[in-house]
Amino acid sequence: MLWRRRKVIPVGQQGEDLAAKHLKRNGYKILDRNVRLGRYEIDIIAREGDTICFVEVRTRMDEDPVPPEDSVGPVKQRHIRAAAHYYIARHPDPNAYYRFDVVAIILPKDGTPKITLYRDAFPDR
């Protein structure tokens, strides 16, 4: 007799899947996911109207004392900016605006995940 095992999906992957669905429900068009640009990666590149959004997804379990959005500090922001500039140089769109969004997800042991979208979460310096 063979037993089927449930495939365990890593927390980060669960979060990115939830974030993509949440963004679609909020009118974003997903352009790409897990994009390697230079030395860095952007979780989701999406379009909302005339704006290209570089989205960082942060997922935590509900027992984690640090809110997920707090983990996108200055160093991570610098990495995301560098990747975004790499993307823009290779996909120029003179009619597009650009911004950085963060999707924070808290996964409870039971129940519905809490998803918070932070539009324009940090500036491009």
Query: Mean pLDDT in each 10-residue stretch from start to end of the chain (125 residues)?
Result: 67 90 98 94 97 96 88 96 95 95 93 95 89
Contact between 96 and 56 under an 8 Å Cβ cutoff? The reply is no
Q: Is 91 contained in some domain?
A: yes
Q: Which domain range does residue 113 map to?
A: 11-118
Q: What is the CATH number of the domain that holds 79?
A: 3.40.1350.10
Q: Is 123 contained in some domain?
A: no
Domain count, the chain: 1
Query: What does the pLDDT read at residue 1?
Result: 59
Q: Is 2 contained in some domain?
A: no
Q: Is 83 contained in some domain?
A: yes
Q: Is 72 contained in some domain?
A: yes
Query: What does the pLDDT read at residue 114?
Result: 95
Query: What does the pLDDT read at residue 109?
Result: 85
Q: Is 5 contained in some domain?
A: no
Sign of the Cα pseudo-torsion (69, 71, 75, 81, in order):
negative
Q: Is 6 contained in some domain?
A: no
Sign of the Cα pseudo-torsion (78, 115, 111, 34, in order):
negative
Query: What does the pLDDT read at residue 8?
Result: 63
Q: Is 56 contained in some domain?
A: yes
**Cα–Cα distance, 45 to 81 (Å, whole number):** 13
Q: Three-state SS for 101?
A: strand
Q: Which tokens is 29 given?
A: 């068009």
